[in-house]
């Protein structure tokens, strides 16, 4: 799991966007299109390479009733393994 003080960011070849046809946020990589739920899109939207995982969790607490920093870390860890996220 990423450290609370790591500053994740999307890899250069990855883009977070909104797909109008699907009506959902998507993550575009050279090989795939991943449809995201709102929470995943919110997390990735905050991965700018400046915010730490702890700061991302704090920001999300203003939007969602329950935010688990460990779940955020696990989500980012899975995407780091896929080389979608760095940091």
Tell which wins on pLDDT, 76 or 4: 76
Sequence ranges of the domains in the chain: 9-83
The residue among 51, 25, 61, 30 whose CA lies nearest residue 40 is: 25
Cβ burial, residue 13 (10 Å; 0-12/13-18/19+): exposed
Question: Full-prediction pTM beyond 0.75?
Answer: yes
Which two tokens mark 61? Answer: 């607490």
Domain 9-83 has CATH 1.10.10.10: yes
Average pLDDT over residues 6-14: 95
Tens digits of residue pLDDT in 15-47: 999 999 999 999 999 999 999 999 999 999 999
| Exposure string for 17-35, b = 16+ CB within 10 A, e = fewer | eeeeeeeebbbeeeeeebe
Q: Which pLDDT band holds residue 2 (cuts at 50, 70, 90)? A: low
């Amino acid at each position: 799991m990423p450290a609370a003080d790591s500053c994740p960011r999307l890899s250069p070849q990855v883009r977070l966007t909104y797909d109008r046809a699907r009506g959902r946020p998507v993550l575009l990589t050279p090989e795939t299109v991943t449809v995201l739920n709102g929470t995943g899109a919110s997390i990735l939207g905050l991965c700018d390479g400046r915010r730490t995982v702890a700061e991302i969790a704090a920001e999300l607490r203003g939007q969602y009733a329950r935010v688990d920093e460990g779940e955020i870390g696990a989500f980012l860890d899975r995407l780091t393994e896929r080389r979608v996220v760095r940091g």
